[in-house]
Amino acid sequence: MEQGEPRLRKKSWRRRYICIGVLGVLVLIVVIAVVVGLVLRNNTQQLKGTFIDRCKKFNVSDCQKVWDAFEQAYVGRDPCEVPMEAYDPFIAAAPFEPACNRMMFWSKTKDVVHEFTAKSDCFVTLEDTVLGAVADGLTWCGKKGSSETFTTDCPGWVDCVNNPVRSFWKRVSAAFADAACGNVTAMLNGSITTPFSSQSIFGSIELKRFNSTRMESLNVVMVTQKNPVANCTNASLKMLKAELDNGIQYYCKEVSEAQLKECSNNPQITCGACW
Ligand SMILES: *[C@@H]1O[C@H](CO)[C@@H](O)[C@H](O)[C@H]1NC(C)=O
Ligand SMILES: *[C@@H]1O[C@H](CO)[C@@H](O)[C@H](O)[C@H]1NC(C)=O
Ligand SMILES: *[C@@H]1O[C@H](CO)[C@@H](O)[C@H](O)[C@H]1NC(C)=O
Ligand SMILES: *[C@@H]1O[C@H](CO)[C@@H](O)[C@H](O)[C@H]1NC(C)=O
Ligand SMILES: *[C@@H]1O[C@H](CO)[C@@H](O)[C@H](O)[C@H]1NC(C)=O
Ligand SMILES: *[C@@H]1O[C@H](CO)[C@@H](O)[C@H](O)[C@H]1NC(C)=O
């Protein structure tokens, strides 16, 4: 008895330590779970917040509905199995009115073209419409068996063809080109050897959807720098012309980057008079 008591006490102390240890581990697990949950939710909430804010700038009455249509394309899906058709409901939900004679397409001139269109209301790129603006510069994907939106560890542009971001841009580009009307402009890059590539989104999707029942002309603006590499005579442009729907007029003009800068700094001469 006399010897048993301290042993008992020792045992109960040990039990207490084990209890505290187990409790500590449980608390740690809960804390980690909460933090991970918050980070995941922040991902979803952050992307959604940006999306909705940008949507509202276009005076869209129900941006939540547009978000829901966007989200259903990829949430719960393998991020390499999102085809462009998955965004059909988004296209249907996003109110988009084509701006005839002002539509601007581009390939390999992203920065220059947006600098140019941002400074005046003369031309409208896809990224200036609600279709493209809501997701411009963002990355997102879902995961099988999850209802979350992830913004990290998503497949990149070339990792797999049917990834959520690439399929989105293909689908909205198709919608933008389907609506192309009147005189349409396209800015191509004269500083690379092949200004027109049939593999680009412009060559593989947009150009194929231009329709002469709505479109009058395609005006290529070849943006050149100090030492132009290619110009309007380049053979790749003959391929472009050959792919164009019969009945659409084709024009090409070389315009220096310096001239574009000058035009965007003088908004009153930007509308057409720059080339
Ligand atoms: C949105 O609506 C406000 C108020 O009616 C108007 O001032 C603004 O120009 C509109 N914006 C767009 C992009 O239509
Ligand atoms: C054309 O492409 C080159 C090389 O990628 C780039 O440095 C240049 O800024 C582009 N030009 C325009 C007008 O975007
Ligand atoms: C397209 O441009 C041509 C030539 O500048 C012009 O005559 C024509 O009216 C324009 N088309 C439309 C639909 O504005
Ligand atoms: C253009 O539109 C007409 C009528 O909608 C259609 O029959 C034709 O196939 C279209 N052409 C192209 C090249 O998409
Ligand atoms: C266009 O490029 C070709 C060769 O690529 C060159 O021979 C020709 O002089 C250029 N034309 C102009 C107007 O710069
Ligand atoms: C012009 O186009 C052809 C074929 O698309 C390409 O191979 C060539 O390198 C291009 N560039 C120049 C500067 O000639």
Task: List the residue whose alpha carbon is closest to atom 9 of ligand 4.
Answer: 211
Do 39 and 111 sit in the same domain of this protein?
Answer: no
Let me know if residue 169 belongs to a domain.
yes
Query: Which residues constitute the domain of residue 221?
Result: 98-131+180-265
Q: How confident is the model at residue 34 (pLDDT cuts 50, 70, 90)?
A: low
CATH code of the domain covering residue 74: 1.20.82.10
Unique residue bearing structure tokens 């472009």: 240
263 is written with which tokens? Answer: 């035009």
Overall domain count for the chain = 2
Number of H helices and E strands in the chain, helices first, is 10, 4
Q: For residue 190, is pLDDT > 50?
A: yes
Model confidence at 240: pLDDT above 60: yes
Known catalytic residues? 100, 181
With respect to residue 6, please indicate whether it lies within any of the assigned structural domains: no
Pairing state between β 104-107 and 249-256: unpaired
Kindly write down the DSSP assignment for every residue of 120-147, as one continuous string: -SS-B-GGGSHHHHTTTT---B--TT--
The answer, yes or no, to whether residue 22 has pLDDT greater than 70, is yes
Has residue 32 got a pLDDT over 90? no
CB of 107 within 6 A of ligand 2: the answer is no
The residue contributing the CA closest to ligand 3 atom 8 is: 183
Same-domain pairing of 27 and 162: yes
The amino acid present at 122, given as its one-letter code, is C
Mean pLDDT of 74-101: 96
d(Cα 183, Cα 265) in Å, to the nearest integer? 23
Residues 6+ apart with CB under 8 A from 82: 73, 74, 141, 142, 162, 163, 164, 167
Are both 117 and 229 inside the same structural domain?
yes
Q: If 0-12 CB within 10 Å is exposed, 13-18 middle and 19+ buried, where does residue 160 land?
A: middle
Encode burial over 174-202: b for 16+ CB neighbours within 10 A, e otherwise. bbbbbbbbebbbbbbbbbeebbbbeebbb
Same domain, 81 and 190: no
Q: Is 167 helix (H, G, I), strand (E, B) or coil?
A: helix
Could you tell me the sign of the dihedral formed by the alpha carbons of 15, 21, 27, 30, in that order?
negative
**Do residue 116 and residue 167 come from a single domain?**
no
Higher-confidence residue of 149 and 38: namely: 149
For the Cβ of 229 lying below 6 angstroms from any atom of ligand 2, the answer is: no
User: What number of CA atoms fall less than 13 Å from residue 57's CA on the CB side?
Assistant: 12
Which of 58, 59, 60, 131 has most ligand 1 atoms within 8 Å of CB, for mutation?
59
> Band of the pLDDT at 262, cuts 50, 70, 90?
confident
Are residues 211 and 240 part of one domain? yes
Weakest-pLDDT range from 42-56, 188-202, 255-269? 255-269
Sheet holding 215-224, edge to edge: 104-107, 182-189, 215-224, 249-256
On average, the pLDDT of the chain sits at 89
Tell me what pLDDT residue 1 has.
45
Q: C-alpha angle with apex 113: 112 to 119, nearest 5 degrees?
A: 95
User: Which neighbouring-strand residues pair with 187?
Assistant: 106, 221
Instruction: Examine the domain organization and report whether 169 and 253 are in the same domain.
Output: no
Q: Residues 154, 167: contact at Cβ < 8 Å?
A: no
The type of residue at 252 is C
Q: What pTM was computed for the model?
A: 0.84
Q: Is residue 239 one of the residues assigned to a domain? A: yes
pLDDT greater than 70 at residue 270: no
Cβ pair 109, 188 in contact under 8 A: yes
Q: Which residue, judged by its Cα, is nearest atom 9 of ligand 2? A: 109
Pocket of ligand 4 (CB under 6 A): 211, 213, 245
